[in-house]
Amino acid sequence: MKMQPDRLEGGNAISRHGPEGVIVNGTEYRASVIVPWRGEIRPWGVPRFDALDEAAFEALAALKPELVLLGSGARLRFPRPALLAPLMAARIGVETMDTPAACRTYNVLLAEGRAVVAALLFELGG
């Protein structure tokens, strides 16, 4: 049984997630994606974990959230601390977890009215 709404008033709710992507506000995304608490959901040009670079985190910092949830894929992996410099410089919190946990945590924080961004990594084809 699904326990959360497809769309929280004014927010971008994740209604489903799986190994190949997520559904946000009724739209399916099958590649790495940035899901901000409000505004446009956009592709995240990170095809695999080892492609993470500082520019990937600069794009997240530009959204000015309170917190970024990094969904590192099917398993928990931590990026090199130096890559997080744009978030740290902007005093934005960051938590890393596997992508399914990031989706669940994002919805909880969204329901609390928090300015949260989910940066979800989906490594397709390998």
DSSP letters, 26-84, are TEEE-S-EEEESSS--EE----SGGG--HHHHHHHHTT--SEEEEE-SSS-----GGGG
Would you kindly state where each structural domain of the chain is located, as residue ranges?
14-120
Give the CA count within 13 Å in the CB-facing half-sphere of 18: 6
- In a 3-state reduction of DSSP, which class is residue 96? strand
The pLDDT score that the predictor gives to residue 123 is 87
Q: Is the pLDDT at 41 greater than 60, yes or no? A: yes
The pLDDT score that the predictor gives to residue 2 is 44
DSSP letter, residue 23: E
Q: Is the pLDDT at 40 greater than 70, yes or no? A: yes
The pLDDT score that the predictor gives to residue 125 is 56
CATH code, residues 14-120: 3.40.1230.10
Mean pLDDT, range 82-102, rounded to an integer: 97
Of all residues in the chain, the percent with pLDDT exceeding 70 is 90
70-91 per-position pLDDT tens digit: 999 999 999 999 999 999 999 9
| Range with the poorest average pLDDT among 8-17, 22-31, 87-96, 109-118 | 8-17
Model pTM above 0.75: yes
Let me know: does 66 contact 110? Beta carbons within 8 Å. Answer: no
Q: Is the pLDDT at 3 greater than 50, yes or no? A: no
